[in-house]
Structure 1
Amino acid sequence: MTDIAAAPSLAVTPPAQAATDGAFRVLLVEDDDGDALLVEEGLLDAGLDASIVRARTLDEALERLDADCVLLDLGLPDAMGLGALQRLLAAGAPAVVVLTGLSGGDLGLAAVAQGAQDYLVKGEADSETIGRSVRYAVQRRRLEAADRALYRSLVRAEETNRLERALLPTPAVRDDRLHVSVGYRAGRDGLLGGDFYDVVERADGRVLALVGDVCGHGPDEAALGATLRTAWRTLVLAEVAAGEILPLLERVLESERSRPEVFTTVAMLEVAPDRASTDLYLAGHPVPLLIDDRSRLLPSTARGRALGIPVSGGWLPLRLELGPRWRLMMYTDGVLEATIRESSDRIGKEGLRSLVDAALSRGSADLVTDVLQDVRALHGGELVDDAALVVLGWGA
Structure 2
Amino acid sequence: MITAPDREWEARSDAADRLPQDPDHGVIRVLLVEDDEGDALLVHENLQDAAIDVELQHVRTLGEALGALDVDCVLLDLGLPDGVGIPALRRVLDAGAPAVVVLTGLSGDEAGMLAVAAGAQDYLVKDEVDGRLLARSVRYAVQRRRLEVTGRELYRSEVRTQESHRLERALLPRPVVTHAPVEVGVAYRAGRDGVLGGDFYDAVERPDGSVLVVVGDVCGHGPDEAALGATLRTAWRTLVLTGTPTGELFGLLERVLVAERAEDWVFTTMVMVEITADGSAADLYLAGHPEPLALGPEAAFLPTTHRGRLLGLPGPGRWDPARIELPVGWRLALYTDGVLEVTLGGSRERLGMTGFLEVAEGVRTQTAPDEVVPASVLAQAVLDEVRALHGGNLDDDAAVVVVEDRR
Same fold (TM over 0.5): yes
Which of these residues, 272, 289, 292, is aligned with residue 288 of structure 1? 292
Q: What residue in structure 2 maps to residue 333 of structure 1? A: 337
Is 1:46 paired with 2:50? yes
Which of these residues, 157, 160, 164, is aligned with residue 160 of structure 1? 164
CA distance in 2, matches of 1:254, 1:19: 54
Is 1:394 paired with 2:398? no
1:157-180, CA deviations, whole angstroms, 9 ceiling, x for partnerless residues?
011111011000000001363121
Q: What residue in structure 2 maps to residue 379 of structure 1? A: 390
Which of these residues, 378, 381, 394, is aligned with residue 367 of structure 1? 378
Q: What residue in structure 1 maps to residue 271 of structure 2? A: 267
Greater Cα offset, 290-299 or 192-201: 290-299
Q: What residue in structure 2 maps to residue 350 of structure 1? A: 354
Deviation at 1:374, TM superposition (A): 1.0
Is 1:118 paired with 2:129? no
1:249-305, CA deviations, whole angstroms, 9 ceiling, x for partnerless residues?
111001111111100000001000000000000000011101112210112221110
Which of these residues, 321, 324, 327, is aligned with residue 323 of structure 1? 327
CA distance in 1, matches of 2:190, 2:62: 48
Greater Cα offset, 214-223 or 294-303: 294-303
Map of 1:83-94 to 2, 5 A cutoff? Answer: 83-94=87-98
Map of 1:130-279 to 2, 5 A cutoff? Answer: 130-175=134-179, 177-279=181-283
Q: What residue in structure 2 maps to residue 76 of structure 1? A: 80
1:328–1:19 distance in 2 versus 1, CA, 3 Å: farther
* Structure of larger gyration radius: 2
CA distance in 1, matches of 2:80, 2:367: 79
Contact kept in structure 2, 1:102 and 1:124, CA below 8 Å: no
Deviation at 1:376, TM superposition (A): 1.0
1:180-234, CA deviations, whole angstroms, 9 ceiling, x for partnerless residues?
1011100011121100000000111010000000011110000000000000000
Question: What amino acid is aligned across from residue 262 of structure 1 in structure 2?
Answer: V
Unaligned runs of 5+ in 2: 1-21
Map of 1:295-310 to 2, 5 A cutoff? Answer: 295-310=299-314
Question: What amino acid is aligned across from residue 368 of structure 1 in structure 2?
Answer: A
TM-score, with structure 2 as normaliser: 0.91
1:139-166, CA deviations, whole angstroms, 9 ceiling, x for partnerless residues?
0000000000000000000111110110
The number of residues matched between the two structures is 379
Deviation at 1:384, TM superposition (A): 1.1
Question: What amino acid is aligned across from residue 306 of structure 1 in structure 2?
Answer: L
CA distance in 2, matches of 1:268, 1:384: 25
Question: What amino acid is aligned across from residue 61 of structure 1 in structure 2?
Answer: A
Deviation at 1:19, TM superposition (A): 7.6
Taking CA–CA contacts closer than 8 Å with sequence separation of 6 or more, which of the two structures ends up with the larger relative contact order? 1
The sequence identity of aligned pairs, in percent, is 60
1:176–1:321 distance in 2 versus 1, CA, 3 Å: closer
CA distance in 1, matches of 2:23, 2:233: 45
Contact kept in structure 2, 1:356 and 1:367, CA below 8 Å: no
TM-score, with structure 1 as normaliser: 0.94
* Segments ≥4 residues shifted beyond 3 Å: none
CA distance in 2, matches of 1:204, 1:334: 34
CA distance in 2, matches of 1:174, 1:228: 23
CA distance in 2, matches of 1:356, 1:209: 19
Matched position secondary structure for 2:386: helix
Question: What amino acid is aligned across from residue 69 of structure 2 in structure 1?
Answer: L
CA distance in 2, matches of 1:377, 1:111: 58
CA distance in 2, matches of 1:137, 1:340: 51
Matched position secondary structure for 2:197: coil
CA distance in 2, matches of 1:112, 1:317: 69
Contact kept in structure 2, 1:355 and 1:374, CA below 8 Å: yes
CA distance in 2, matches of 1:248, 1:395: 32
Contact kept in structure 1, 2:195 and 2:221, CA below 8 Å: no
CA distance in 1, matches of 2:294, 2:383: 17
1:210–1:201 distance in 2 versus 1, CA, 3 Å: same
Unaligned runs of 5+ in 1: 1-17
Question: What amino acid is aligned across from residue 187 of structure 2 in structure 1?
Answer: G
